[in-house]
Structure 1
Amino acid sequence: MNSTLRFCFHFTHAVSATRQSIPQAHRRPPITRGHKQIVKENASIQNRELKMADEQRPSTEQPPSGRQQEDHDEALPIPDKDIESNWDEVIDTFDAMELREDLLRGIYAYGFEKPSAIQQRAVKPILLGHDCIAQAQSGTGKTATFTVSILQKININLKETQALILAPTRELAQQIVKVIAAIGDYMSINVHACVGGTAVRDDIHTLQQGVHIVVGTPGRVGDMINQGALRTEAVKMFVLDEADEMLSRGFQDQIYDVFRFLPESVQVALFSATMPQEVLEVTQKFMRDPIRIMVKRDELTLEGIKQFFVAIEREEWKFDTLCDLYETLTITQAIIYCNTRRKVDWLTEKMQSKDFTVSAMHGDMDQRQRDIIMREFRSGSSRVLITTDLLARGIDVQQVSLVVNYDLPLNRENYIHRIGRSGRFGRKGVAINFLTECDVRYLKDIEKFYNTQIEEMPMNVADLI
């Protein structure tokens, strides 16, 4: 192991973990199904779509810092309260769920043998028609949970949109479409991804032909509704995937814009790996007595993923440390997270200048570029991907064995989404966090939030990957 990395292990620090509260977001007036008590936003669909990029532009010189000190004070979240489940029934086989035969066939063909914990508990109440808030950690089958529920309730003979699913990113929406199409393969299901970065006329044409399920990002979905291309009269299920992100302050207005067009009787389901209290307060505005299926805070750990930190005295030393890691470890596939698009570009250039083979993806790239990069990464032709939190939610790449947080996430909820890219479905994985002095209290906050302990990286880390 090189001297730079060895030095990092002996770097000591003593920084207070004091939290500073931030004020709660201004609370919106109540919102109901249909057209009653709706807050109409003046911002255009296009401007709202731009807000979906969950990255910030830095003002520092290269190398761009992970975050400035004032960012620490603003980003430290207020404490969350523990939320209790109110549904305990467990159905431990797909056969016992009384699903249609062609759906069961698709489930088993997809490779499922037994439902995961969230599937055992959440499918039944959704099929019974309850609004539902369901929480489980990354890699446990949340997407298949609402996919199975929707497919069971769809009337195949009705060529109208009956289920609408919103996701925070284009990549996640497209991933969901692939899962629905695969599990619904024997049902002649029509599902369409309605996302920005693609031709509007293609969306309009497909929607006018009639699709059973629409999965999309809020901006494009709202645009299609406003243009009359996406008709919502027959929608009976509305799903928010990654609800903590979707209902954060930057997304809730977009959700309301879509929600006001849905029928009064629409069933609402929210799925997410984390569910902070402020999100649950927002759901009260448009859910009726929801079933709550929650993973307790002290259960929010990623089994099989070893978490470490590397203490680095100065921001500019992170690059040498990463190069040392890259040369030391044999990596099947890895994801490196930075907090800004500019940092992604800078780091990619630096790595390539040292003859390391890496690829990069962030929200400034057009959809075609992003599709190509993701296809190469999934196929294994690209082994190391440098990205922002754009990729942190819901992208399932089974071979990822290592996640490096070059910058700790600005939002602690994103930590579990990031490191959940490794060790999918019980596979072993490693997460390594680069830690500067000003990151120490952030790491302590993450440890407290997830009731976990992140150890200093051992010298034999190569044996763990």
Structure 2
Amino acid sequence: MPPRDLPREYSDDDIQIESDWDQVIDDFDKMGLKKNLLKGVYGYGLEKPSPVQQRAIMPLLNGRDLIMQAQSGTGKTAAFVIGILQKLDRSVNATQALILAPTRELAQQTQKVVLEIGQYMNIKCYACIGGTKVSKDVKKLESGLRVHVVVGTPGRLLDLIKRGALVMDKIKILCLDEADEMLSRGFKIQIMKVFEHLPQEGIQVVTLSATFPDAFHDTTKAIMGSNPVKILVKRGQLTLEGIKQFFIIMERPDWKLDTLCDLYTTETFTHPTVVFCNSRKKVDELVLQLEERELAAVATHGKKQQKDREDHLRDFRTGTSRVLISTDMLARGIDVQQVAVVINYDLPDSKEMYMHRIGRSGRFGRKGIAINFVTRKEISKIREIEEYFSTQIEEMPLDISILLRNISLST
């Protein structure tokens, strides 16, 4: 089934890209893709390659290691999935591609993209994630069925490798999705151990994220060839076009709750809205505080039970719940395309994370709104974010109904 919301056609005016790969192909038909893969690309809803895809797919097909820095919504997931599917040999009854992701939700989402784009290729893709029975994964991988692509979180994949259930000798491509997040969350040792079990020759490595801190480059040197292709969206282009950004000044931090409740009475929460907090404890407290005021919201974070996380994300995606409160777990690549409003209840700890968060709105060229709750002491942080991303964050007007109506017209 194609996705509910289809990507728009991008032009080179939308984003500026620095790349050491000169070839740019703006038509999927000219990429030499397998017939059934091309059918799946169009069936998925892709009509014209985005600027990132125009530059990234061909080096993947040519076997080059690739570092791809691009914001959510620019098509980077579809780019590496197309590259992987083109290189699969269906006559080989073994896992040939391994995709690592930092969260269960992102792993499952990537699995879905692989299956949808590869729907006419008769390939199998399996997600190995924490929070589920490892015995189920072992049974699936040892069943003799062809699992051509395995997606998973580093800890679970390493466990399956040690058990001998995940056989690595036929793998020819490794992809690290949201690579900087995996490094920041302490997955580096696990990633390196996974890499040690790969074949020593002929492995193609792909890393992608919206931001790459300095620590990331040490890891790439250890696992990549000496001359990877680099495709980098310029920093000033990382905040998505079409997102209006505002801040609301609080005289005291404890005024945030009342301000959030006030927004419930406006048109704001008639649109799918994500509220970000900096800790799991704050997320849980905020949901309880809203329930006490008879205001509805669902919550997700890394310590919630897997079933609860899946149920709450499903309710939000289907519109059963209009407000989702989350930690930064949701900011990283998890695709909730219908988000129109993002509220930073707490300003993020890093400037890079700000961009990840507001990227939940305005996806695929749609309009969106980001609202930041700040104390007067935090105004300087807002100015730093503005300068860092060459963007503009204004004090929110008293009446944002016109902006919200514009969102309705664009969706």
Q: Of 13, 36, 60, which residue of structure 2 is paired with 1:126?
A: 60
Q: Measure the CA separation in 1 of the matches of 2:384 and 2:224.
A: 31
C-alpha RMSD of the superposition: 1.4
Aligned position for 2:237: 299
Aligned position for 2:263: 325
SS at structure 1 position matched to 2:99: strand
Q: Measure the CA separation in 1 of the matches of 2:239 and 2:22.
A: 21
SS at structure 2 position matched to 1:439: helix
Q: Does 1:383 align with 2:344?
A: no
Q: Of 101, 111, 115, which residue of structure 1 is paired with 2:45?
A: 111
Q: Size of the alignment, in residue pairs?
A: 383
Q: Of 342, 348, 351, which residue of structure 2 is paired with 1:412?
A: 351
TM superposition shift of 1:431: 0.5
TM superposition shift of 1:115: 0.9
Q: Does 1:374 align with 2:308?
A: no
- The 5 A counterparts of 1:192-271 are 192-209=126-143, 210-248=146-184, 250-264=186-200, 265-271=202-208
Q: Measure the CA separation in 2 of the matches of 1:270 and 1:134.
A: 6
CA offset digits 1:92-128 (Å, max 9, x no partner): 0110111000001011111111111111100000110
Determine if contact 2:53/2:76 at 8 Å carries over to the other structure: yes
Determine if contact 2:300/2:327 at 8 Å carries over to the other structure: yes
Aligned position for 1:95: 29
Q: Does 1:444 align with 2:383?
A: yes
TM superposition shift of 1:282: 2.6
Aligned position for 2:10: none
Q: Structure 1 residues 444 and 278 mapped into 2: Cα distance closer, same or farther (>3 Å)?
A: farther
TM-score by length of 1: 0.80
TM-score by length of 2: 0.91
Q: Of 226, 243, 246, which residue of structure 2 is paired with 1:308?
A: 246
Q: Measure the CA separation in 2 of the matches of 1:458 and 1:254.
A: 47
Q: Using the aligned pairs only, state the percent identity.
A: 56
Determine if contact 1:248/1:279 at 8 Å carries over to the other structure: no
SS at structure 1 position matched to 2:254: helix
Q: Measure the CA separation in 2 of the matches of 1:174 and 1:217.
A: 10
SS at structure 1 position matched to 2:233: coil
TM superposition shift of 1:84: 5.3
Q: Structure 1 residues 178 and 290 mapped into 2: Cα distance closer, same or farther (>3 Å)?
A: same
Determine if contact 1:118/1:135 at 8 Å carries over to the other structure: no
Determine if contact 2:239/2:359 at 8 Å carries over to the other structure: no
Amino acid at match of 1:275: F
Q: Measure the CA separation in 2 of the matches of 1:336 and 1:461.
A: 18
Aligned position for 1:7: none
Aligned position for 1:22: none
- The 5 A counterparts of 1:142-161 are 142-161=76-95
Q: Structure 1 residues 257 and 310 mapped into 2: Cα distance closer, same or farther (>3 Å)?
A: same
Amino acid at match of 2:199: P
Q: Of 417, 425, 428, which residue of structure 1 is paired with 2:367?
A: 428
Could you list the runs of 5+ residues in structure 1 that have no partner in the other structure?
A: 1-82
TM superposition shift of 1:434: 0.6
SS at structure 2 position matched to 1:274: coil
SS at structure 2 position matched to 1:434: strand
Higher relative contact order (CA 8 A, sep 6+): 1
Amino acid at match of 1:403: V
TM superposition shift of 1:372: 1.1
SS at structure 2 position matched to 1:201: helix
Q: Measure the CA separation in 2 of the matches of 1:297 and 1:128.
A: 27
Q: Measure the CA separation in 2 of the matches of 1:300 and 1:423.
A: 12
TM superposition shift of 1:398: 2.2
SS at structure 1 position matched to 2:142: helix
Could you list the runs of 5+ residues in structure 2 that have no partner in the other structure?
A: 1-16, 405-411
Once superposed, which parts of structure 1, at least 4 consecutive aligned residues long, lie more than 4 Å away? none
Determine if contact 2:180/2:212 at 8 Å carries over to the other structure: yes
Q: Measure the CA separation in 2 of the matches of 1:196 and 1:241.
A: 17
